[in-house]
Structure 1
Amino acid sequence: MNRIEAKRRNDLDHRKKQFAEPAYQETQYPHRLNFYSTPPTADITLEEFEQWAIDRLRVLAELEACSFRNKTPAETAAHMKPLLDKYLPLDSTSSNHSQLHSQRQKDHYSHFILRLAFARTEDLRRRFARVETMLFRLRFQTDDSRERAAFVRTLNLDWEPVYDEEKRELAPQLAAALGGKNARDRVMEEDWCKVDWIRVPDLVESRRVYLRGGKAYVPGREQQSMVMNAFTKRLEEALELTARALPNLDEDDRLSPILDHLSKNFIAPDSGYASGNGAPIDGAEITARNIDNLSQHFPLCMSHVHRTLRRDGKLKHFGRLQYTLFLKGIGLSLEEALIFWRTGFRAVSDDTFNKEYRYNVRHCYGDVGGDANRRSGGYSPFGCQKILTEHAPGPGEAHGCPYRHFTIENLTTLLRATGVTDPAVLKGVKEDTEAQRYHIACNRVFEHVHKAELKRAKEEGILTAAQLETIVHPNEYFKRSYLLKHLDKAPKPDRDVKMEGA
């Protein structure tokens, strides 16, 4: 037996020498802001790959929704702050936060993962560049002024900094460019730079810069547009290069399905990204006899199915499936579901119901079927993305999304029948549906119907990050609607906790 001492074995093991030095150095993040010029190279798990991308997608989708709703920059910043803190926090360097590196690593990797997902088509590239620029602008505006200036200096944007000596020399002229009260005092505080005047013709035209020797002296507050333009231009160029490299990813069958799933969910985020599948609401009577009363809280897709069932006493297959799973999601038990469907199908006999419909309801709940179906508890309620993209309704069918599958005339008639008559809301819904922003149209109606409750909830500060997100699941719509309409019944100390399930 050839025995080698442990110390000598380490010296002789060529495999350890081969990996003595890491192939890739860990990326350092000296700044909070990032132009994402260098792709990440370290290893992450598949779980991190998917979850980080999902979290960033939620933020980008919400930013896009803010622009669709015409929120002001101040409203957008206030709306996005709790969501960013929850899904994509990014603290300043001066905060000395213990998770600074992990925060910036997640931000860095999630950007490049979504870049892979959204580089596939011109439309996705354009949308991705737009919302990423919005996110960068939001962070740029809230960054520490000194840290922001230090970051801008690393971009090599061919700007010439203006130092304190020159600021003092040109203080009167620079103050005139600044304008406003105490302009002379603010000259030294401002972060100035010099560029060729032809690069900022808009600023020259509006007299927001000082011109001298062919150079424009640009104050820090006006540099934002220049940085944004550079960010967007570089990202668009990088997306084009990514699109050319995408065919090489086909060899990795682990990443392609994830990227494909992410790109599809730019239509409307998947139900898996929302809080739609939770436990029944405390205090709510979720029984067969109370469904008619609860239907006032249903989104349009489910209220239409419910009205059709009550009118015709029957539903076709996909209508039954969509509605059964929705009722299951709001907390209707299997026993109550069987009672509801039996009384709803008033034109059929007990024997027919038991033979043709009872089994399907039990199967949805996981009460019958294969072992996998039983272990999983049956099917999950459909989210907006699934309802929008699968099984379009045909003649005589009531399932699907009215915002997508109805004509604008029929949609307007249905909305009026549910009490939505405001011309401005109907006009906004029409514009949203024509632009294929179906979930935005649904949220527009929700905000109109619940405007009084939303105003009160915001004034009392009881809305959490979960309630600020755009609704992307029918069950989430129901829960949020029910809880908003029953604010007085929730104990004040626990109200924000109870609302967390919405």
Structure 2
Amino acid sequence: MIRQEFSRADPKRRTALDPKKRQFAPATFQNVEYKHRLNFYVTPPTADITLEQFEQWAIDRLRVLAEIEACSFRNKNLTETAAHMKPLLDKYLPLTSSTSNSAATQIERQKDHYSHFILRLAFASTEDLRRRFSRAETTLFRIRFQDNDSRERQKFVEGLNLDLEIVSDEERREYAEELRAAGGGFPKRIEEESYYKVDWEKVPELIEHRRVFLKGGKAYVPGREQLSMVIAEFTNKLDKALETTSRALPRLDEDDRLSPILTHLSQNFTTPDANYSSSSTSLPGADISARNIDTLSSSFPLCMQNLHRSLRRDAHLKHFGRLQYSLFLKGIGLNLEECLVFWRGAFNKITDDTFNKEYRYNVRHVYGDVGGDSNRRGNGYSPFSCQKILTEHPPGPGEAHGCPYRHFSIDNLTALLQQVGVKDHEVLKGVKEDKEKQKFHLACNRVFEYAHKQEIKKVRDDGTWGAAQLETIVHPNEYFKRSYLLKNLGKNPTDGGGDVKMED
């Protein structure tokens, strides 16, 4: 006899989806029409994008947020930050106005929408990352709000439904003196200004600076202070959303496509990574030769100056030191033949036979002259970025590679900085504070700005360089290029005359 098993579940009831299992239901994707340039990022995006877009959009936004944070650590006010960020926003995260009728408007706003939510995933894991992300995003929103067309801005605010209660004419007259006092005597005629009543918790900035009248738990906010109300609402919503996102993160651990990308992005908020490009860091015509490395080393970042000084002192570097330094020299334009000449001359305590047997092959491999097919096709390895130097292969005893700002004790770091000419007490104090806060790239940029303060002032004053050409340095080879160009202002690397202009 064949037994048949029957389900006791009613077939008609199986079509009803268990609410606990709704998260596994087929997702519904839809494209969003972006009516406004500004965005409160309330609704998560649902349309398909590629993994390449996912990562590149996030990296572009990360560059913007990291630079905003750098402006904060340099104590730039909002006006200075906005001016500094404008070319960077135009480059990495442009947002044209609705009146421009640009075909790229929706694509730009989609990138802005998606990149925010991608980084929200990346930075929701810890309280420190959430706080820093919220602060940088709030500053970005504030810059955009103030830069927005007034009519577009008003339409956006009207669509927010901020639950603002308009203060009646009777109340304005009743509290006219208090309202005028809170406004510093402005307006002289109280009927010239509109006022809103909001819960006092929503406008902490205005209360802190005593710019509103408080009564019965309500803040009487003048219309001219609309920005503070909108900013407070933006920050409040974002902070709550980040808390919610942090609780949902464990569900993403099983996705082996996204988790590595998100981890990489969150690590890079300490020091944003930089894609190396030989064309963007090259100096055609400059004397990049073995005989000139000692002279050029004055323009090297501290990590490479430390390697160079150690090499000259000991006539030797261990493996990772040779690798880090060889890749850097390759990146500044030292060709293979000259690099071999340089290393042979530097290793002056060994014989030619020892050098050829133990070291020559490694230098050729770095340049892609020998090794696997993929290595040769790619012309060898790329120079290490600051992020890679900071996070991979920390130096051990007798090793000189790595980042001095991270891997040195504060006493050894201070001594090295003084040896290379940084003796200003305030600069050294600032570097110490940056190191304590683990802002290693800001310490490096602080030293760069001190060493080139006169040249930087000149190119800013005469408009030769814009903010995009003076953004935070995140690659040793970019440090060298920028230093070389600043130190050789007015000289052409080819013939010693003419202007030197930095590439974007």
Same fold (TM over 0.5): yes
Where do residues 111-260 of structure 1 align in structure 2 (5 Å cutoff)?
A: 111-161=116-166, 177-179=182-184, 183-184=187-188, 188=192, 192-196=195-199, 203=206, 208-209=211-212, 216-260=219-263
- How far apart, in 2, do the equivalents of 1:201 and 1:397 lie? 51
- How far apart, in 1, do the equivalents of 2:174 and 2:498 lie? 59
**Displacement of 1:246 after TM fit?**
2.2
Say if 1:304 and 1:191 are closer, same or farther in 2 by CA, change over 3 A. Answer: farther
**Displacement of 1:485 after TM fit?**
0.9
Secondary structure, aligned partner of 1:488? coil
Q: Which amino acid aligns with 1:290?
A: N
Name the stretch that deviates more: 45-54 or 315-324. 45-54
- How far apart, in 2, do the equivalents of 1:137 and 1:212 lie? 28
From 260, 264, 268, the counterpart of 2:267: 264
- How far apart, in 2, do the equivalents of 1:290 and 1:484 lie? 18
Q: Which amino acid aligns with 2:370?
A: V
Identity among equivalent positions (%) equals: 69
- How far apart, in 2, do the equivalents of 1:412 and 1:341 lie? 29
2:305 paired residue number: 303
1:19 paired residue number: none
**Displacement of 1:222 after TM fit?**
2.8
8 Å CA contact 1:276–1:475 kept in 2: the answer is: no
Say if 1:412 and 1:204 are closer, same or farther in 2 by CA, change over 3 A. Answer: closer
Per-residue CA shift, 1:133-190, capped at 9, x if unaligned?
A: 1211222222233333332232232212469x88997997666654467x358974x6
**Displacement of 1:42 after TM fit?**
1.1
Q: Greater helix percent: which structure?
A: 1
Say if 1:157 and 1:261 are closer, same or farther in 2 by CA, change over 3 A. Answer: same
From 359, 383, 392, the counterpart of 2:385: 383
Q: Which amino acid aligns with 1:99?
A: A
Say if 1:362 and 1:43 are closer, same or farther in 2 by CA, change over 3 A. Answer: same
1:425 paired residue number: 427
Say if 1:202 and 1:307 are closer, same or farther in 2 by CA, change over 3 A. Answer: closer
1:44 aligns with 2:28: no
From 30, 33, 41, the counterpart of 2:38: 33
- How far apart, in 1, do the equivalents of 2:448 and 2:346 lie? 27
8 Å CA contact 2:203–2:228 kept in 1: the answer is: no
Task: Specify every segment of 5 or more residues in structure 1 that has no aligned partner in the other structure, as ranges.
Answer: 1-21
Q: Which amino acid aligns with 1:256?
A: S
The runs of at least 4 consecutive aligned structure 1 residues that moved more than 6 Å come to 165-172, 211-214
1:92 aligns with 2:97: yes
Name the stretch that deviates more: 117-126 or 420-429. 117-126
Q: How many residues align?
A: 474
2:290 paired residue number: 288
**Displacement of 1:211 after TM fit?**
6.4
1:374 paired residue number: 376
Name the stretch that deviates more: 36-45 or 206-215. 206-215
Per-residue CA shift, 1:292-317, capped at 9, x if unaligned?
A: 01001000000010011111111111
Secondary structure, aligned partner of 2:253? helix
- How far apart, in 2, do the equivalents of 1:495 and 1:167 lie? 65
Per-residue CA shift, 1:341-383, capped at 9, x if unaligned?
A: 0000000100000000000000000000011111111111011
Task: Specify every segment of 5 or more residues in structure 2 that has no aligned partner in the other structure, as ranges.
Answer: 1-26
8 Å CA contact 2:340–2:363 kept in 1: the answer is: yes
2:6 paired residue number: none
State the superposition RMSD in angstroms. 2.8
Say if 1:95 and 1:218 are closer, same or farther in 2 by CA, change over 3 A. Answer: farther
Q: Which amino acid aligns with 2:247?
A: R
1:448 paired residue number: 450
1:82 paired residue number: 87
Per-residue CA shift, 1:76-124, capped at 9, x if unaligned?
A: 1111111011111123333444422122111101001111111222222
